Every structure is written in structure tokens, then in C-alpha cells.
Structure 1
Amino acid sequence: MSKQGFTTRQIHADRRLNKPANGAVHTPATTSVLFEYTDAQDIIDVFQGKQAGHVYGRSSTESMQALANQINDLEQGVGAVCFATGMAAISAAVLSLFKHGDHIIVSQYLFGNTRSLMNTVSDLGIQISFVDVTSLQAITEAYQPNTRAVFTETIANPATQVADIQAIGRYCKEREILLIVDNTMTPPPLFNAKASGVSLVVCSLTKYVAGHGHVLGGAVIDTGEFDWSGFNNISPAYQVADCTQWGLTQIKKKGLRDMGASLSSEAAHKIAVGMETLALRMQRACSNAKELALFLHNHDKISQVYYPGLADHPQHFIAREQMLTGYGAMLSIDLAEHIDPIAFLNKLELVICATHLGDTRTLALPVAPTIFYESGPQERAQMGISENMLRISVGIEDIEDLITDFTQALASL
């Protein structure tokens, strides 16, 4: 059979990759915490990594592994590990792979919780340099002999700065350092991380992948683009025969087993089912976002629209080159100075005021006093976040209804 399309592969991924028992098309939720071995040698071999298997629900279950297989297939990697949340995935990757004295170059536009994590990591002795990742020169100038990685998002949340992943990927390969990319905002089929030279993909499965605002999850995916044999931080215990698995093995052992941020089997099942419609939802949400961005861009009560799909966006041409099927489904706006953002949000009838993104429903919230409140005015300014910015995660409603809602809310003020 010829190569199948993205949605076809996703719909059939569970039964194709995992082969559930009794002809089921979905892997069932595995609720057992423990697993019996009739031959004691088998449990020894599983513990020592000599054969595949499950020994304890904190580390793995059939449901967790089935989802990891599907997520890995999504990114065309060499393996994946799933976690209870996206932040757990990021924390596990960073704390498992880096140690006191290492240096990481980090995007200055990171989402608030991730930036907070990086500050915590800095307190532990891992050096962090926040730089403008839209400039390759800024990254090269930040490089130090102890630099081990660059960490960035594809599109920043909420001000939508776009990192030049392809240029950064080439640079990291030359320097033989990791490129870790948070791909939450632009999951496949929007962005091909492997083709852009990304070493590790981290993401929140809660958002677009699951898609319905009803389950938490996260993942780390190894694209196979990094040579772990030259990475000095891998423990000898995790230097298995296949060196492509060294990084993931250490993340799984240190970041999942030891730290315990395990994804429940019920959550894994929900994420896997939601993922089947990822491409369809992303196509509709991206189309809606672009139309809404154009409408707001031309409205006299909007002073600024932040969306990579607009021609006047500072990184529009980078986004156009990197993105495959759209510019993402999130945008942010600054209202005209005389308009109260809170009053505007309260006038919206269809759009939900909530802290989440990647949902089927359109969501909006004020950025500075909520998700970036802890950052303070000076840090927010460095990140391109205005004090009156509103973030809008565009859903899959009929675009006419969304524009009608924004029109009536703006007209009432």
C-alpha cells in the first residue's frame, strides 16, 4: 500500500502499532499496578533492561506504552516517554539530562510555568541564559564551553514570537549540543520537528493532541537526530546496547520512575482517542485563527494583533517556511487604549474566559494579571507582553459565529 495520509495513519495507529487483544481497535485502560511473572528470571531481565515488559504501574503499563508508541509515530522518532502533564515531561527531561555546572541557552519568551522551572533549575546550579531565539546571532553569542543544549518553543505563548528552528537545528548539530523544542503549539501535521534538526520534542498532550480539555498528559520524544554516545551526562547504567535509546532510558528511569509523574492508564486512553482527530481539528482551528486575526487586525478598536500568519508579523517569513499546514490556532491582541480588557472579556458570549489552550472551544484570558502575573512588568516587557494583552485560543466553532461574538463585544464598548 502506498504511503497513507496523516489522518488515516492516526485513526488506525492504535490497532496497527499496538495490536490490542481480541480485535479491539483501541488499547484498553490497564488498571493493574503490578504484573505477575511466572518465571522469576523474566522479572530480573525486565528490571535490568534485557527484555521488554512492565514491572510496576509508576514506570509503565500497557496503556502508557501504547500511547507512547502512537506519539512516537506522530513525530517519526526513535521512542517516546509519556508523563502526567506537559510540565512533568519538561521537568523530567531537564532534571534527568543536565547537572550542576551545565549551561542551557533558553528562549526569553518561554511560557510562564516553563520559565519558572528554568529559574528553579538555575537555583540548583544549572546555568541558564535567556536569549532572543528569533536571532541565531543571540544564540551563538550565548554559547559557552559548558553549553549542553538550546531549549525553545516553536511559537511563543502568548506573544507568538517564532524561533528559527531550522537555523538553530543546524547550529546545534555543528556544536554537537541538544536542541530541545516544546512543540505544544504546533504539533504534527503543522510542524516537522525531526526534519528541522530537533533532538528532543517535549509537549503537553493536554492541549491540541488530546484536544477536548478533559485530560492531562505530556510526552518527551527522541527524534533520533542526536548522537548520545558523545553526551557525557548519561549514567553508565543506562548506556544500553542501542545508543539511540540512552537519552530516553535515562529520562524514563530518573524522570519518570524516580520522580513519579506517571500518566494514568485512563488518561492515556482518552489522549489516544482524542489524537485520532488531531489533523482535522488543527486544520479547522488554524483556518479560524487566521480569519479571526485578519478581522481583528482591521478593526479600529484593536491596536495590535499577534499572529504569525499575518504578513506584518516580525517572523512571518520564518513561520511560512517552517510551518507545513497552518500558522497555529493561538493569537493575542492589544485593545485600543480606551477599551477596558476586563469589560471586553465580560461582553463575550460564545468565547469562554479560561486558562487553557488547544481546546475545541475558543478561549480567552487577560495575560499579565493571570498566567504571567509572577513575572512582573519588567520581565513581561522583555517577553513582548503588554499589560493589556489578551490571549485567544481559537477553537473549531463556525467562524461566522466567532466573528459575530467579537463584533458585538467590541461594539458594546
Structure 2
Amino acid sequence: MKNKGFTTEILHSDRQSAIEHGALIKPIHTSVAFGYKTAEEICAVFQGRQPGFSYGRQNNPTVGALEQKISKMEGGLASICFATGMAAITTTLLTLLRAGDHLVSSAFLFGNTNSLFNTLTTLGIEVTFVDATDAANVKAAIRPNTRIVFVETIANPCTQIADMEGIGELCAEHGLLFVVDNTMTSPWVFRPAKTKAGLVINSLTKYVGGHGNALGGAVTETGVFDWSTYPNIYDSYKTGKPSSWGLLQIRKKGLRDTGASMTAETAHHLSMGAETIALRQEREASNALALARFFASHPAIKKVFYPGLESHPEHEHAKRLFRTFGSLMSIELKPEVDCFQFLNKLELVILSTNLGDNRTLAIPVAHTIFYEMGAERRASMGIADNTIRLSIGIEDVEDLLADFEQALA
């Protein structure tokens, strides 16, 4: 059957190849070592000349099934899974960048990613932060030693949206690798390959898993970038088609060096969660839009950050690119409203730091996940001291509205 829909493809992806004992989903393979009948065969697997499993640090049948599922979700050629989303970003960049290289990044970054990029500068890798909502800012930052441009689709927590179409064209023109973190949208809401992203990164902990019960990350090769032009590929990984070189180096060298491997049990949890991503995100986005409109008219709220509102600076951009406007939003309370008192009055909404959970979560970002960044950097990102980030869940919207209303009263 051709032209399967998104959810149909994900639900039936495991059974596109034979599964032991007729199981409907890929079983959990806990073995970290795999035996072969001949020495020639094990050598061929290790050298990448034959498909197979070498060692649990780099591949595993259960993790491999999830990788195939992520590739289908992103419309990519292949994927690699990692222990966390940060492991995916760290391993990818440490594998592909060298001292003396230059990285251009969106200034509107997840706090942990910002911390990593600051660490890269101590290793001799130059990093320039720009306002990526306009590709002209990225263009102005490009240098002869620029190798990668990195952006997030929707910024956390103030929902700035990168000019991915313009940046993708710019990277193609200059032969740069365009890396897009798709976590805040997810493969169901948006496929970065459409904007010429060469690599796509997802924190699977968030919308793909959806249940807050497993950490994981992934990097997907889209087939857009010409790796034969990239100077940092080692000769030993220039085997097969050039489209596989980057991901092969990330798996063979990156996973070996960092050891940031995903376990089979984790892959099973994330694979099961992925089956319902479209159903969950439709409900979450619907709830988020209703709440954003409620907040926009509430006298205690100074500002609402949500791409679904027509007042959002990148609303038209989001409407053109994304299937929905997502479920991440932030609100800035008016100065006279104590953010801690407001949060402590919430009864249904949970005070927690995760995103993409079935349950609605709230957190005061300036005092927690962006605290180490400092007041000056927070201000440049639009984060005020009384900014509250919300990850909207699948609860009945009437219950959510009632909880926020009583807390703001």
C-alpha cells in the first residue's frame, strides 16, 4: 500500500520487516553483544560493509526499530538515537566540528544548549549568536571558517520562530550544514527537511514520547546536504554514498567517544509513545490556542507568547510552515502579580520542568532553567522575572481554563 498517512505509517512501521514470533511491536532486546558464525562476517559488520549489530553502545535491534520510526516521521534517510536530546546535540557537534571552526547559532536557545555552546568556545570552536528570526542576521555572521548554522524551530520559552526558509536557502548558497532542533514542534507539526536542513535533532523525551517516562534524543539525516564538500569527514567514514558519511561518522566515532547510547527499554517506551503523537498534539494545540486567547484578554497578564495569536511577530510564518501552532507558550504576568503566589494557587496544573507531557506543566523560567544564564542574557531573549512557561497537555480545556482563572483571580 502506498501513500500511508503519518499515524498509519508509525503504527505499522515495526512490521515492515519480520518480527520474532509474529509480535506486533519490536521486542525489547537487552543483549549488548552480538555473535557471528564467521570472522569475515563480524569484520564486515564492524567495517560497515554489511548490516548488523556490533555492540550495544552503537546499535541495538530495539533501538534500531525506533530509529527507523523516527526516520519515517521526519521523512529522512536514517537516524541515530541517543540517551537524551542533549546527548544528540553534543555528540553531533563534537563529531562534526574541530578547533578553529565557526558555528552560527540562534540567540534564542534552550538553556542547556546555550551552556553547551559556551563550552564549545573553550575547545577552540567559535560561536556567534544572532537573532535568527531574520536570515540577514545569519548572513552577516558567516565567516570563511563557518561550518554549521544551528537553530530551534520555536524558541523556548518566548516562542520566537527562526526564518528557516531564508536560512536554508542561505546555507545551500554557501555550502553550510543547516542543523535544526525540531523538538519544540516535532516531526508531526513540521519537517525541517522542507527548509533544506541537512540534519534534524529531536529530544524524544518531549512530544515524541509524550508520557514523561523516558529520556531520549535523535539526529536524522535528511539527504539534503552534500557531505562530499564537508571538510571534517575522516577518510575511514567515506564509504558508500556521500549522503551517509555524516551520520556514519556520528554513529561510529560520536557514539563510541561519548557513550551516550539509548537503552532498549527506553527505545520501547519512546516507540510506543510515538504511535499517538498526532492524536496528542492535535488536542494539545487546540487547548493551547484556547488558553492563549484567554490569557490575551486577562487583566493580570502583560504579554502572551504563542505563535497561534495574530499578535505574534511570526504568526504568518508559523501558519505557513507548521501543521499546528504547538502547545508551548509563555505568559508574562504584570509587575504587581506575584508569580510564585500565582503558581502556588494552581491546583490542576503541575509545577514541573518537562515539555510535551500529556499533563499541563508550568515553571517560572527566570528562577529555574534559565537562572544560570544571568539577567542580561535573559533580557536579550525576552525573558522577564515573572515569565511563566507553560506546556499544555490533553486535559479537558474547561478544567484548564477554570484552574488558571481561579489562580489569577
Query: Normalized against structure 1, the TM-score is what?
Result: 0.98
- Once superposed, which parts of structure 1, at least 4 consecutive aligned residues long, lie more than 6 Å away? none
Deviations 1:18-63 (A, max 9, x none): 4312211111111011111111111111111111111211111101
Give the one of 345, 348, 358 matched to 2:346. 348
Q: In the alignment, what sits opposite 2:170?
A: 171
Which amino acid counterpart does residue 108 of structure 2 have in structure 1? Answer: Y
Which amino acid counterpart does residue 136 of structure 1 have in structure 2? Answer: A
Q: In the alignment, what sits opposite 2:216?
A: 217
Which amino acid counterpart does residue 236 of structure 1 have in structure 2? Answer: D
Q: Percent same amino acid at aligned positions?
A: 52
Q: Secondary structure at the match of 1:105?
A: strand
Q: Secondary structure at the match of 1:390?
A: strand
What is the correspondence of 1:45-64 to structure 2 with a 5 Å cutoff? 45-64=44-63
Q: Secondary structure at the match of 2:94?
A: helix
Give the one of 359, 362, 374 matched to 1:361. 359
Which amino acid counterpart does residue 397 of structure 2 have in structure 1? Answer: I
Which amino acid counterpart does residue 24 of structure 1 have in structure 2? Answer: A
Select between 224-233 and 40-49 the one with higher mean Cα deviation. Answer: 40-49
Q: In the alignment, what sits opposite 1:108?
A: 107
Distance in 2 (alpha carbons) for counterparts of 1:226 and 1:261: 25
Which amino acid counterpart does residue 230 of structure 1 have in structure 2? Answer: T
What is the Cα deviation at residue 328 of structure 1? Answer: 1.0
Matched, 1:407 2:405: yes
- Indicate if the aligned counterparts of 2:19 and 2:25 stay in contact, CA closer than 8 A: yes
Q: In the alignment, what sits opposite 2:394?
A: 396
Which amino acid counterpart does residue 126 of structure 2 have in structure 1? Answer: Q
Q: In the alignment, what sits opposite 2:24?
A: 25
- Indicate if the aligned counterparts of 2:350 and 2:359 stay in contact, CA closer than 8 A: yes
Distance in 2 (alpha carbons) for counterparts of 1:378 and 1:210: 34
- Indicate if the aligned counterparts of 2:75 and 2:191 stay in contact, CA closer than 8 A: no
What is the correspondence of 1:238-317 to structure 2 with a 5 Å cutoff? 238-317=237-316
Deviations 1:335-389 (A, max 9, x none): 1211100010000000000010100000000000100000000010111111110
Q: In the alignment, what sits opposite 1:372?
A: 370
Which amino acid counterpart does residue 104 of structure 2 have in structure 1? Answer: I
- Indicate if the aligned counterparts of 1:292 and 1:403 stay in contact, CA closer than 8 A: yes
Deviations 1:187-237 (A, max 9, x none): 122112111111100110000000000001000001000000000100000
Q: Secondary structure at the match of 1:368?
A: helix
Distance in 2 (alpha carbons) for counterparts of 1:338 and 1:67: 48
What is the Cα deviation at residue 255 of structure 1? Answer: 1.6
- Indicate if the aligned counterparts of 1:7 and 1:279 stay in contact, CA closer than 8 A: yes
Q: In the alignment, what sits opposite 1:126?
A: 125
Q: In the alignment, what sits opposite 1:5?
A: 5
Q: Secondary structure at the match of 2:232?
A: coil
What is the Cα deviation at residue 2 of structure 1? Answer: 4.5
Distance in 2 (alpha carbons) for counterparts of 1:122 and 1:95: 12
- Indicate if the aligned counterparts of 2:9 and 2:72 stay in contact, CA closer than 8 A: no
What is the Cα deviation at residue 314 of structure 1? Answer: 1.0
Q: Secondary structure at the match of 2:303?
A: strand
What is the correspondence of 1:65-144 to structure 2 with a 5 Å cutoff? 65-144=64-143
Deviations 1:91-136 (A, max 9, x none): 0110000100111100101100000000001110111000000011
Distance in 1 (alpha carbons) for counterparts of 2:62 and 2:191: 26
Which amino acid counterpart does residue 4 of structure 1 have in structure 2? Answer: K
Q: Secondary structure at the match of 2:367?
A: coil
Q: In the alignment, what sits opposite 1:205?
A: 204
- Indicate if the aligned counterparts of 1:92 and 1:254 stay in contact, CA closer than 8 A: no
Query: Normalized against structure 2, the TM-score is what?
Result: 0.99
Q: Secondary structure at the match of 1:168?
A: helix
Matched, 1:15 2:6: no
Distance in 1 (alpha carbons) for counterparts of 2:104 and 2:54: 37
Which amino acid counterpart does residue 74 of structure 1 have in structure 2? Answer: M
Distance in 1 (alpha carbons) for counterparts of 2:119 and 2:181: 18
Which amino acid counterpart does residue 386 of structure 1 have in structure 2? Answer: A
Distance in 1 (alpha carbons) for counterparts of 2:363 and 2:199: 30
Distance in 1 (alpha carbons) for counterparts of 2:227 and 2:52: 24
Q: Secondary structure at the match of 2:343?
A: helix
Which amino acid counterpart does residue 337 of structure 2 have in structure 1? Answer: I
Q: Secondary structure at the match of 1:408?
A: helix
Q: In the alignment, what sits opposite 1:381?
A: 379
Distance in 2 (alpha carbons) for counterparts of 1:203 and 1:360: 18
Distance in 1 (alpha carbons) for counterparts of 2:191 and 2:47: 34
Distance in 1 (alpha carbons) for counterparts of 2:377 and 2:169: 29
Q: Secondary structure at the match of 2:269?
A: helix
Would you say how many aligned residue pairs link Structure 1 and Structure 2?
409
Distance in 2 (alpha carbons) for counterparts of 1:179 and 1:32: 36
Distance in 1 (alpha carbons) for counterparts of 2:160 and 2:18: 41
What is the Cα deviation at residue 158 of structure 1? Answer: 0.2
Q: In the alignment, what sits opposite 1:185?
A: 184
Which amino acid counterpart does residue 4 of structure 2 have in structure 1? Answer: Q
